[in-house]
Amino acid sequence: MHEIVEKASVLIEALPYIKKFRGKEILIKYGGAAMCSEEIRENVLQDLVFMNYVGIKPILIHGGGNAITNNLKKKGIQTRFVDGLRVTDKASMEVVVETLAEINKGIVHDINKFGARAIGLSGHDADILSVVKRQASEDVGYVGQITSVNIQPIKELTEFNIIPVIYGVGIDQAGETYNVNADDAAAKIAAAMGVQKLMILTNVKGILRDPADEGSLISSLRVSEVQSLIDQKVISGGMIPKVGACITALNGEVKKAHIVDGRIKHSLLLEIFTDQGIGTEIFL
């Protein structure tokens, strides 16, 4: 009996948050690194379906990470990074698109299986992500810098209660397809849509003061503190585009931006429906 009553109070605790976010959009970026385990993946997608059923409008942007590197390896293509960007020639770009499209199909299928409706989109469908070639210290090939976002097709899906599942490739003026950083794509779309929250799911607790120590989580961080953490090399590698994404989103009127541990069971629900919050919140 006691347990049943407990369950009811858990539901009631979520009520103010359901009221607050009902009818509103929340954008979730699901990283390559937090995608590897089937269990994590199912939890994340179930959370999205739950949100959808209580009237919240989730939008998912995903990356490909390890799967891209593995598929390139299978084809005998070496992965090389310049200034943190994956050097992407024509042959690599084909593998990138194939891999992302495959992941996208799987996610859409599973969301549908869990009972909500999802539609997969590539960033170049309907010119969602327009790009120009990214400049770096040497030619990095098909790596795009996002110049504008067309939110119309995304809005139309959320209005019909459909979860848009988008992968980060963009299109340039000549109609060429470019790879884009999924964190950046998420931020630009979040800002253009003015969503309530940007949540970046990854495979660490959040921003750590000492990347080797999971106990050193920074739970909230001011935008003005970020640059010195990058200069001190506390924030490095894949975490740099994530903090950049949070800043872009906040400057674009997104109310909250979080970096959340996808490995924690139902971390999205915990972050949205409880007061405590997990991970790192970045604020202006």
Site residues (CB under 5 A) for Mg ion? 238
141 binding ligand ADP? (CB under 6 A)? no
Nearer to Mg ion, 29 or 197 (CB): 29
Q: Which of Mg ion, ligand ADP, none does 245 bind, CB closer than 5 to 8 A by kind?
A: none
CB under 8 Å, gap of 24 or more: what pairs does 147-156 form?
Answer: 149/188, 149/189, 149/192, 150/126, 151/189, 151/192, 151/193, 152/126, 153/121, 153/125, 153/126, 153/128, 154/59, 154/121, 154/128, 154/189, 154/193, 155/193
Q: Among 203, 244, 266, 270, which residue interacts with ligand ADP (rule: CB under 6 A)?
A: 203
Q: Which of ligand ADP, Mg ion, none does 111 bind, CB closer than 5 to 8 A by kind?
A: none
User: How many Cβ atoms from other residues are within 10 Å of residue 7's Cβ?
Assistant: 9
Question: Within 13 A of 201's CA, how many CA atoms are on the CB side?
Answer: 32
Q: Among 18, 33, 151, 247, which residue interacts with ligand ADP (rule: CB under 6 A)?
A: 33
Nearer to Mg ion, 112 or 203 (CB): 203
40 binding ligand ADP? (CB under 6 A)? no
Token pair 């996208």: residue: 104
Q: How far is CA 75 from the centre of its chain?
A: 27
Backbone angles phi, psi at 169, to 5 degrees: -130, 155
Residues in the chain: 284
What tokens does 184 get?
A: 């950046």
Q: Which of Mg ion, ligand ADP, none does 244 bind, CB closer than 5 to 8 A by kind?
A: none
Region from 6-14, 72-80, 156-164, 228-236 binding ligand ADP, contact rule CB under 6 A? 228-236
Ranges within 62-101 binding ligand ADP (CB under 6 A): 63, 65
In whole angstroms, the minimum distance from the beta carbon of 266 to ligand ADP comes to 18
Nearer to ligand ADP, 92 or 202 (CB): 202
Q: Is 15 exposed, middle or buried (0-12, 13-18, 19+ CB in 10 A)?
A: exposed
Nearer to ligand ADP, 111 or 208 (CB): 208
The contact set with ligand ADP (CB under 6 A) reads 31-34, 63, 65, 202-204, 207-208, 211, 234-239
